[in-house]
Amino acid sequence: MTVPATPVPPAARRPAPSPTPEALLGLFPAGTRLAEDDGQLVIGGCRVTELADRFGTPALIIDEGALRDRARRYAAGLAARWPNSRVAFASKAFPCTAVYRVLAEEGLSIDVAGGGELALALAAGVDPARIVLHGNAKTDAEVEMAVAAGVGLIVVDNTDDIDRLERIVTGEQAVLVRVTPGIRPDTHAAVATGQEGSKFGLTLPRARRAISRLRASDRLRLDGVHVHIGSQILDTEPFARAVEAVAELGTFAVYDLGGGLGARYTYDDHPPSVEEYLDAVVGAARRVLPPDAQIILEPGRSMVAEAGVTLYRVATVKRGEPTFVAVDGGMGDNLEVALYGQRFEATVATRPGGGEPHHLVGRHCESGDVLSADVRLRDPRPGDLIAVPVTGAYCFSLSNNYNGALRPPVVFCRDGEARPVVRRETYADLLHRDLP
């Protein structure tokens, strides 16, 4: 039996098209252009070569204008369709204080999952009353931290949460009950959360029992229910079914309908627009929910993914069948390929578009460290800059120190100005927690 020398995640094996410059730019943050003098990528008004020279590589570049525009599009679109509403950023997609701060400035609430994200949100100046705490395994310390901070909503994921809250809360705490509606959207199993057997939430019969118990509590105020069926969902129909499922539980003041809208990672992806998603969710809400209830939506991936671009430097090109183009990053700064089989496109940043298929791989000691298989690159050479778009979601969250890699900086670009918001790690950082 012959085994391939380099396993490639299934989603990364699709043949790559030969993109036109227009198709290529369609994957980058809106407003990205090619410089008139040399054709290199310009993101947020900043030339990629200047960004790489100043901040090094790998580097996660965020178009701040694109990020703010997406936040406004969500908030204004939802308010126009359902005035008693709010948008809460699902911050596990990008738990960075600068991102929290920008989205709070745009009027968004923040969804956190655990004490670390809560600490970051508070450090960014987010109003605790506009924070929603999630988590399927909250600790006493995390609940105490949330209650002490004055977190607005705590989502009950299991009956242990009720026990813990009733023991810790001394005044009044608003809560929601997370419901598992038995809906399995067409997405990777690792990011599907609404199906039977999910570790998240309570099935409808168990949710009813939790609701009855909470309504009898003298310190936990049941505001409503929460549902979230997964991530990277490219069809609106499952979202509408989730709304219908929670409507069966009764009338509440608040319905948190989660998030999960997918992002456009590849030329072949065609996710619903923000507006199509809002139309589907709010359309279902108008049919089955009380008209005076508050709706909360929690976009994460679709809020931040397309605002991000990762810049790498080519370390080596190994000619053959296939030809491997190895860069100075990889699964230390992008685990989505290895975890979910997510496909990413890429281009030589100074010669964008076209080229022959290559395997774009990382520097880590794993055969599965493949950033993108059969991606078209135009004559890649050592020292070239490679740009990988749509890396604003989860790449920062999942970054790690495998092989002692240093986690990359985060740089915000806007109107031609670049500012670092997270510095690159140093070797001293790697040693910082070690004890003699």
H or E element, residue 177: strand 173-180
311 phi, psi to nearest 5 deg = -100, 130
E strand residue ranges, 233-307: 254-256, 294-297
**Residue 194 vs residues 54, 163, 204: alpha-carbon distances, Å:** 44, 24, 11
CA distance 151 to 172: 11
Residues 386/377, Cβ–Cβ less than 8 Å: yes
Which is catalytic among the residues 46, 365, 395, 413? 365
CA-based torsion, 235, 238, 239, 241: positive or negative: positive
Instruction: Compute the residue count for the chain.
Output: 436
Helix axes 97-105, 115-123, angle to 10 degrees: 60
Contact (CB, 8 A) for 68 and 106: yes
Nearest one of 392, 391, 395, 275 to 334, comparing CA atoms? 395
**Positive or negative: CA dihedral 236, 238, 241, 245:** negative
Other C-beta atoms lying within 10 Å of the C-beta of residue 122: 20
Is 273 within 8 Å of 63 (Cβ atoms)?
Answer: no
CB atoms within 10 A of CB 124: 20
Backbone angles phi, psi at 247, to 5 degrees: -65, -25
Contacts of 2 (CB under 8 A, 6+ apart): none
- Provide the residue type at 429 as one letter: D
Beta-strand ranges (E) seen in 331-379 are: 347-348, 356-361, 370-377
Please confirm, yes or no, whether 365 is among the known catalytic residues.
yes
Residues labelled as active-site residues: 365
